[in-house]
Amino acid sequence: MGFDAAFSRALAEKGWLGLTLPRAYGGAERGAFARFVIAEELLAAGAPVAAHWFADRQSAPLILKYGTEAQREFYLPRICAGEAFFCIGMSEPNSGSDLASIRTRAEKTPAGWRLQGQKIWTSNANHCHYMIALVRTSGRAEDRHKGLSQFIVDLKTPGITVRPIKDLAGDAHFSEVFFDNVELRNDALIGEEGAGWEQVTAELAFERSGPERLYSSLVLADTWLAWLRSRQNPTTAEVRLAGALIARLSALRAMSIAVTNKLESGESPVVEAALVKDLGTEFEQQLPVAIAGLLGANPDGEPCQQLSSTLLYTSMIAPAFSLRGGTREILRGMIARGLGLR
Ligand SMILES: Cc1cc2nc3c(=O)[nH]c(=O)nc-3n(C[C@H](O)[C@H](O)[C@H](O)COP(=O)(O)OP(=O)(O)OC[C@H]3O[C@@H](n4cnc5c(N)ncnc54)[C@H](O)[C@@H]3O)c2cc1C
């Protein structure tokens, strides 16, 4: 969750942003697995990847697939250089899980579009250059999936106010974003007008299946394992938990790789991605609970300062793991539908 623009630029200098994008746009033209390996290593080390994360993971593939040539030429090289950071404007007050009911609206004007409304929980909006916003361009909220479109919104445009929200841990990772008669040019529209729902659905498969849905608590696991190694005699329960965590992580990783395989071959594995996210975030949330439980059960095993503070921080942010990117209940509904159960 750490946002560090200089770190993202250093990665870009190594050629590690936009790995899957064509060379013509500044990418490295590598496969999805090259990106998987880099993402995995960065997350395992707890690196501050937030600045480039959304652009690299989903905005760039979106622009590549649905953007005009002019949009590709303008945005993609800057994403690859770590100079254009994106946030994702989907959720609104009262329209989180029920995303199709969003009310933020873009009205056609002679010069382009006029945007009015509000987004909420927008990660990193206070630091990013652009938002990919899902908004209504025709019809009413009751029309659901019809009449939605996506826009690339330059967050410096007059009429935009970004107000950070503090979370339980005291950090302000996400924000409210207000649009008050924001004038957008015609070329802010990305993809087809009215096709926003299909575009967003495809984007969410990228958002839900990657290693970031398994590794949010991995720094805690590493810190705990290092502490276990430093002690003379780990208990049977500790050894058992270590084995169980690693076995579970290997299975989840194999599933995440399987979804990456499908994405790589051009499929849109929406249900499979939902399954990986649901199981992955459950693992991420159980990890701090299981470690805290063992520490509490063994009064002789006083944790070191680093383990205590990592455990405390992970425990405070863990509830968000199964909310961001679609809640557990919503994902399970999708899985049930995919299995023909509803
Ligand atoms: C750390 C974090 C970062 C985020 N970043 C972003 C971001 O960058 N961009 C963005 O657009 N959004 C972001 N979000 C918002 C996130 O996508 C929403 O919080 C999420 O979709 C839930 O929406 P909501 O908060 O409106 O809750 P609600 O939809 O009101 O849900 C409340 C509860 O009711 C349950 N529920 C709702 N509907 C149903 C149903 N039909 N069946 C069963 N249960 C149901 C939910 O599972 C949940 O437990 C972020 C959230 C978090 C926590």
Same domain, 73 and 95: no
Classified as helix, coil or strand, 34 is helix
Closest ligand 1 atom to residue 327 Cα is 47
CB of 56 within 8 A of CB of 17? yes
- Considering 28, 51, 84, which residue would you say is the last residue of a domain? 84
Strand partners, 134: 150
Residue-level pLDDT, tens digit, the chain, 342 residues = 899 999 999 999 999 999 999 999 999 999 889 999 999 999 989 999 999 999 999 999 999 999 999 999 999 999 999 999 999 999 999 999 999 999 999 999 999 999 999 999 999 999 999 999 999 999 988 888 999 999 999 999 999 999 999 998 889 999 999 999 999 999 999 999 999 999 998 777 777 778 888 999 999 999 999 999 998 888 999 999 999 999 999 999 999 999 999 988 888 888 999 999 999 999 999 999 999 999 998 877 789 999 999 999 999 999 999 999 899 999 999 999 999 998
Residue 204 lies in a domain: no
Same domain, 142 and 232: no
Q: Which residues contact 172 (CB under 8 A, 6 or more apart)?
A: 126, 164, 165, 166
Distance in Å, CA 327 to ligand 1 centroid: 5
- Considering 60, 84, 108, which residue would you say is the last residue of a domain? 84
Cα–Cα distance, 89 to 128 (Å, whole number): 12
Closest ligand 1 atom to residue 54 Cα is 8
pTM tops 0.85, yes or no: yes
How is residue 181 annotated by DSSP? Answer: E
Domain carrying residue 294: 209-338
Measure the CA dihedral 85/89/90/96, to 10°.
110
Q: Assign residue 22 the CATH number of its domain.
A: 1.10.540.10
Q: For residue 199, what is the enclosing H or E element?
A: helix 196-208
Same domain, 125 and 232: no
- Considering 55, 84, 113, which residue would you say is the last residue of a domain? 84
Same domain, 158 and 217: no
How is residue 163 annotated by DSSP? Answer: E
CB of 209 within 8 A of CB of 275? no
Query: Mutation test of ligand 1: which of 3, 88, 91 has the most ligand atoms closer than 8 Å to its C-beta?
Result: 91
Least Cα distance to 238 among 247, 252, 228 occurs for 228
Return the structure tokens found at 18.
């936009």
Cα–Cα distance, 159 to 195 (Å, whole number): 26
Q: Does 123 contact ligand 1 (Cβ within 6 A)?
A: yes
Tallying the residues shown for the chain, one arrives at 342
Cα–Cα distance, 181 to 105 (Å, whole number): 10
Q: Assign residue 230 the CATH number of its domain.
A: 1.20.140.10
CB of 85 within 8 A of CB of 130? yes
For 53, other C-beta atoms within 10 Å of its C-beta total 23
Closest ligand 1 atom to residue 90 Cα is 11
Identify the residue whose C-alpha is closest to ligand 1 atom 40: 330
Q: Does 25 contact ligand 1 (Cβ within 6 A)?
A: no
Cα–Cα distance, 29 to 20 (Å, whole number): 5
Same domain, 270 and 283: yes
Domain count, the chain: 3
Cα–Cα distance, 278 to 333 (Å, whole number): 11
Return the structure tokens found at 22.
């064509």
Same domain, 158 and 223: no
